[in-house]
């Protein structure tokens, strides 16, 4: 009789161990999934914000070209809210169709708030009709 009672308590403790292991693994898995979702959400936010910043940088470069000329506006850098934004201008001279066209490269980078990774975004525009 005592042998039967001992086996029941051992099975209860074994069930408790398996149950606690299952709960802890489920908790760890859900935390891991939430951290991936946060990283993806941060990257999507960065892409959206970078598209807006790239358009603003394009407007700044076009305004600089119209007011100051190509030589004084070849490159510039702006830092705002942790975003490092740069642009570079290059004249296109390889064909007669591209006469007066300028290549605008915009580069935006920002450290990720969730990890040590640096998020990067680049955009290229062709500005037509500049002397």
CB under 8 Å to 91, separation ≥6 — which residues?
A: 70, 101, 102, 103
pTM for the predicted model, two decimal places = 0.68
The tens place of each residue's pLDDT in the chain, 131 residues long, gives 455 555 666 777 778 888 888 888 887 777 776 667 778 888 888 899 999 999 999 999 999 888 988 888 888 888 888 888 999 998 877 666 656 788 999 999 998 877 888 899 999 998 887 76
Give the position of tokens 């004249």.
91
Angstrom distance (rounded) from CA 40 to CA 46:
10
**Is the distance from CB of 69 to CB of 54 less than 8 angstroms?**
no
Angstrom distance (rounded) from CA 129 to CA 131:
7
Q: Which CATH architecture has domain 35-127?
A: Roll (3.10)
The DSSP bridge partners found for residue 89 are: 104
Domain boundaries, the chain: 35-127
């Amino acid at each position: 009789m005592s042998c039967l009672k001992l086996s029941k308590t051992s099975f209860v403790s074994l069930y408790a161990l398996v149950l606690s292991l299952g709960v802890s693994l489920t908790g760890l898995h859900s935390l891991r999934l939430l951290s991936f979702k946060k990283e993806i959400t941060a990257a999507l936010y960065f892409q959206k914000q970078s598209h807006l910043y790239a358009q603003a940088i394009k407007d700044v470069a076009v305004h600089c070209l119209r007011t100051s000329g190509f030589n004084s506006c070849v490159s510039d850098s702006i830092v705002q809210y942790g975003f490092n934004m740069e642009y570079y201008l290059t004249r296109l001279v390889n064909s007669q169709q591209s006469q007066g066209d300028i290549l605008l490269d915009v580069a935006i980078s920002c450290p990720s708030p969730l990890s040590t990774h640096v998020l990067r975004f680049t955009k290229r525009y062709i500005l037509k009709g500049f002397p």
